[in-house]
Amino acid sequence: MELIEITSANVEKLGYFCRMSKMKTPGNQNKVEWLKKRFSEGLKIKMFRKPERGFIEYIPGEYAWRSIRAKGYMVIHCLWVVGKSKGKDLGSILIGECISDAKKAGMNGVAVVTSEGTWMTGRKFFQKHGFETVDKAPESFELLVHEFKTATKPTFTGNWTDKSKKFGDGLTILKTPQCPYNEDAQDTIIEVANELGISSRVIDLTSAEDVRNLSPSPYGTFNVVVDGRFFSYEYSVPKLLKKKLIEFRKGS
C-alpha cells in the first residue's frame, strides 16, 4: 500500500487519480494546469499506487474551491476509495495524512463539505473520524470540521437564492477546472438545453474568490442555474437530465 504525493514535477507522468486513462482530454488538461497553480498555494494530492485505488485532495481554507469561509483550516476537496480497495481502511489512512499535514502547518483543524446521495463522501464517514457538523445548506449539504483547538468555525457563504437570481432567464453553467469531468458534463447539459430550446451560457470561475462570491451552492466546482433558480450540481445522462429539466421548468 504505497502512498505517493503528486507534485508539479510528477503530475503529468503520474496523473492525479481521476480519468488517468484519458489524460489528453480537455477536462484533464485543464485540471493539470489548475493543479500546477494550486501547488504553490499549499494544495496536496496523495494517492495509493496501483493496484490500490484511492486518493485525497486538500488545500488551505483561504484557497479552497468550495463556497465556504474556512481561513485557518485545511479543506478537503475530494476523497475517494473505489473498487476492490474499499473495506481496507484506506480512507482512514488518507484522512490521517490530511490531519497530520494540517497539524504540522499549525492550522485550527480540517474541514470538508459533504452531501448525501451523491459521489461525494457522506458525513457518516467523517463523523467516525472526529468530524462534527458546524453548518448546513440546501440540497443536503453539510460543513463538517475536525478541530484541533478552539477557533472561529468555518461557515458556508450563504445567500444561495440571491446568487441564483442574478443569472436570470435561460440556463447558466458555472464551472471550474477543479474537476476533470466538468467539460463532459457541460457539453451534455448544453446539448439537452439546445434540444429543449433553452438558451444556455457558461461562466468559468477562475479563482477561489469567484467560487465564494458567485457559486449558488456550497459545491463551488460545478453548478447549474435555470431561470434564476438553482437546478443542480450533479452530472447526469441526457435522458434523465432532459426529464429533470422539463419537470423543473414546469414547477417554476
For residue 202, give the nearest of 167, 242, 243 by alpha carbon: 167
Dump pLDDT digits (tens) for 109-119.
999 999 987 77
Query: Kind and range of the H or E element at 71?
Result: none
pLDDT band at 120 (very low <50, low <70, confident <90, very high): confident
Q: What is the CA radius of gyration of the chain?
A: 18
Q: Tell me the one-letter amino acid at 32.
A: V
**146, three cell numbers:** 475536525
Superfamily name and number for 160-250: Glutaredoxin (3.40.30.10)
* pLDDT mean over 219-243: 94
Rounded to 10°, the helix 182-195/26-38 angle is: 130
Share of the chain above pLDDT 90, in %: 87
Q: Do domains 3-156 and 160-250 have the same CATH topology?
A: no
Q: Tell me the one-letter amino acid at 168.
A: G
Question: pLDDT value at position 252?
Answer: 59
Dump pLDDT digits (tens) for 203-227.
999 999 999 999 999 999 999 999 9
Q: In whole angstroms, what is the distance from residue 178 CA to residue 76 CA?
A: 13
Class of the 3-156 domain? Answer: alpha beta
152 backbone dihedrals φ, ψ, rounded to 5°: -65, 125
CB 48 within 8 A of CB 88: no
**227 against 23, higher pLDDT:** 227
Q: Is pLDDT at 22 greater than 80 in this prediction?
A: no
Question: pLDDT value at position 242?
Answer: 95
Q: Which segment of 115-119, 126-130, 208-212, 240-244 scores lowest on mean pLDDT?
A: 115-119
Work out whether strand 44-48 and strand 54-60 pair parallel, antiparallel, or are unpaired: antiparallel
Taking the domains of the chain in order of start, what are their residue ranges? 3-156, 160-250
Contacts of 162 (CB under 8 A, 6+ apart): none
